[in-house]
């Protein structure tokens, strides 16, 4: 019985394919994928490529056994699945950022733009501040520049996007990295296959490190 794996396409896919290969899993088909989304040619591992939030939908509904997805998405979706392995790639962090003239101690209720409303809500609740949150789909850095929001909560990796848009970090929220998560039923029914995959990736992580 093969293990069904949903891999987040895009940035995550690019970083995880070399790890899978270092773990002895042939990813030639994924590397030459064209517009294909399903890869069933290996006997032991079947892959699908999906958007991050959809990886969890496939996993939670049992359409796949394993998901490979950023912890940003796991935390934002308050996902009930087990986190099984931090793959040590896709490393970045959540920050609050804004223009140089932003005053984090302003008395007026802040407007915060973000692609991650739950993470933003939880952060401001934790520090005891009531804010208005506006959900943005991408290029969130625009929001404080055009006066839509006082600040943003977003992912930073190199800091280039913030720098090139003249934005500054005002608070560090939490780290992000790519995780391997397993469907609860698959963990019981395909235990050996799941642990075989985890072992391969753990070894690959050590080789790559
Ligand atoms: N700048 C970054 N550096 C490192 N990892 C990142 C960065 N931005 C996002 N990630 C991680 O990679 C995952 C996928 O990001 P990616 O940009 O490929 O997809 P996306 O955010 O859905 O964007 P798009 O809508 O452009 O496909 C995110 O969920 C996060 O875990
Ligand atoms: O610190 P950096 O290395 O510059 O990376 C940070 C940028 O990467 C992500 O955006 P992405 O490329 O996913 O595009 P998006 O804004 O459309 O989500 C994130 O939302 C930042 O904009």
**CATH number assigned to the domain comprising residue 169:** 3.40.190.10
- Whether residues 111 and 99 share a domain: the answer is yes
- Atom index in ligand 2 nearest the CA of residue 164 equals 4
The complex's ipTM? Answer: 0.94
Report the nearest atom of ligand 1 relative to the CA of 71.
31
Q: List pLDDT tens digits, range 53-85.
A: 999 999 999 999 999 999 999 999 998 778 789
Beta strand residue intervals within the chain, DSSP E:
3-8, 38-39, 45-50, 66-70, 82-86, 92-98, 111-114, 132-135, 151-156, 168-176, 178-182
Closest CA to ligand 2's atom 9: 155
Using DSSP's 3-state secondary structure scheme, residue 23 falls into: coil
> Are residues 190 and 118 both part of a single domain?
no
Query: Do 81 and 13 fall within a single domain?
Result: yes
Ligand 2 contacts (CB < 6 A) are 138-139, 141, 154-161
169 and 188 part of one domain? no
Supply the range of the domain harboring residue 31: 3-90+177-208
> Looking at the structure, do residues 147 and 198 belong to the same domain, yes or no?
no
Q: Verify that 69 and 35 share a domain, yes or no.
A: yes
Judgement on whether residues 33 and 54 belong to the same structural domain of the protein? yes
In angstroms, the CA 90 to CA 196 distance is 22
Residues 21 and 36 in one domain: yes
Q: What pLDDT digit, counting tens, does each position of 99-158 carry? A: 999 999 999 999 999 999 999 999 999 999 999 999 999 999 999 999 999 999 999 999
For the chain, the domain total comes to 2
Same domain for 156 and 169, yes or no, is yes
């Amino acid at each position: 019985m093969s293990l069904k794996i949903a891999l987040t396409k895009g940035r995550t896919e690019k970083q995880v394919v070399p790890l899978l290969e270092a773990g002895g899993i042939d990813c030639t088909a994924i590397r030459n994928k064209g517009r294909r989304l399903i890869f069933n040619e290996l006997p032991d591992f079947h892959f699908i490529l999906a958007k991050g939030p959809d990886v969890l939908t496939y996993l939670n509904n049992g359409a796949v056994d394993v998901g490979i997805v950023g912890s940003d998405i796991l935390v934002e979706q308050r996902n009930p699945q087990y986190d099984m392995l931090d793959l040590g790639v896709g490393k970045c962090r959540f920050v609050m950022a804004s223009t140089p003239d932003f005053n984090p101690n302003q008395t007026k209720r802040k407007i915060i733009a973000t692609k991650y409303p739950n993470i933003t809500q939880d952060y401001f609740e934790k520090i005891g501040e009531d804010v208005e949150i506006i959900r943005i789909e991408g290029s969130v850095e625009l929001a404080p520049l055009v006066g839509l929001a006082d600040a943003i909560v977003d992912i930073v990796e190199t800091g280039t996007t913030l720098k090139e848009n003249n934005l500054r970090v005002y608070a560090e929220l939490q780290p992000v990295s790519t995780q391997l998560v397993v469907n609860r039923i698959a963990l019981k029914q395909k235990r050996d296959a799941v642990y075989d995959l985890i072992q391969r990736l753990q070894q690959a992580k050590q080789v790559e490190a």
